[in-house]
């Protein structure tokens, strides 16, 4: 059986986080908490497959690139077959981990770098890199990724996000963190990025987003 680490980014949504963890099996879990005002492990009994990292400051969306660089740096020291990234507001399909691994392994492409779980409707048109999507059977080659995806160590070892400066939000404060766009541009000219064709992850917190409340109401993940 493949060794899988599910990484959950979380901030001040304990009920959603608990709900997500309860949906996961056949994997290890690491919660990356963005300086919430509580420590959830103090109010819930965990098994030894779930670990926590608490950032000492809240990065929000404007410093999310720093947070994810630290996450990738830490993960480079680990040894898993696959890494899955999810936000704490995720509702998963049945047997999610096994299905995600099987779908990723089923992509016959030596240049694959990740498989995103973004809303399949978003995958029908270019995003971030302006590359036209290509239907590849069970998946769509999009050449972009958002921050819910599965990858192997190849992605982790190469994922370094260039700085995202405050000027990004000067004209439009509602823009997202820019992390997905940066990662997409990092990889798309040398590697292939895919998206699922059928929904596997539903973001039940779109209307309660703490990072991008306006953007998530109009452009659901």
pLDDT (tens digit per residue) in 96-110:
999 999 999 999 999
* 3 state SS of 155: helix
Helix residue ranges, H only, 79-210? 96-105, 153-158, 179-187
Low-confidence ranges of the chain (pLDDT < 50): 209, 216, 221
Virtual CA dihedral for 131, 133, 134, 140, nearest 10 degrees? 130
Q: What is the pLDDT of residues 72-91, one digit of tens each?
A: 999 999 999 999 999 999 99
Pick among 3.20.20.100, 3.90.650.10, 3.40.50.150, 3.90.550.10: CATH of 4-218:
3.90.550.10
Residue 76 tokens, joined: 């480079």
CA 55 – CA 38 distance, rounded (Å): 12
The whole-number pLDDT of residue 205 equals 82
pLDDT tens digits, one per residue of 191-221: 999 999 999 999 998 555 466 555 545 555 4
pTM above 0.85, yes or no: yes
What confidence score (pLDDT) does residue 154 get? 99
Residue 87, CA distances (Å) to 91, 106, 199 in order: 10, 24, 15
Domain spans of the chain, in order of start? 4-218
Length of the chain equals 221
């Amino acid at each position: 059986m493949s060794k899988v680490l599910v990484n959950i980014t979380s901030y001040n949504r304990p009920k959603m986080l608990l709900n997500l963890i309860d949906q996961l099996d056949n994997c290890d879990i690491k919660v990356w908490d963005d300086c919430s005002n509580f420590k959830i492990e103090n109010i819930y009994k965990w098994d030894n497959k779930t670990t926590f990292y608490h950032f000492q400051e809240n990065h929000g969306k404007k410093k999310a690139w720093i947070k994810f660089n630290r996450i990738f740096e830490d993960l480079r020291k680990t040894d898993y077959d696959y890494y899955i990234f999810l936000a704490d507001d995720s509702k998963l399909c049945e047997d999610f981990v096994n299905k995600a691994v099987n779908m990723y392994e089923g992509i016959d492409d030596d240049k694959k770098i990740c498989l995103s779980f973004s809303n399949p409707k978003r995958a029908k048109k270019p995003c971030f890199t302006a590359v036209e999507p290509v239907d590849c059977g069970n998946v769509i080659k999009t050449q972009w990724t958002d921050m819910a995806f599965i990858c192997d160590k190849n992605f982790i070892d190469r994922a370094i996000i260039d700085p995202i400066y405050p000027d990004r939000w000067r004209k439009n404060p509602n823009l997202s963190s820019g992390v997905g766009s940066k990662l997409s541009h990092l990889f798309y000219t040398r590697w292939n990025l895919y998206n699922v064709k059928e929904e596997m992850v539903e973001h039940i917190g779109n209307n309660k987003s703490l990072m991008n409340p306006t953007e998530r109401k109009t452009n659901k993940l």
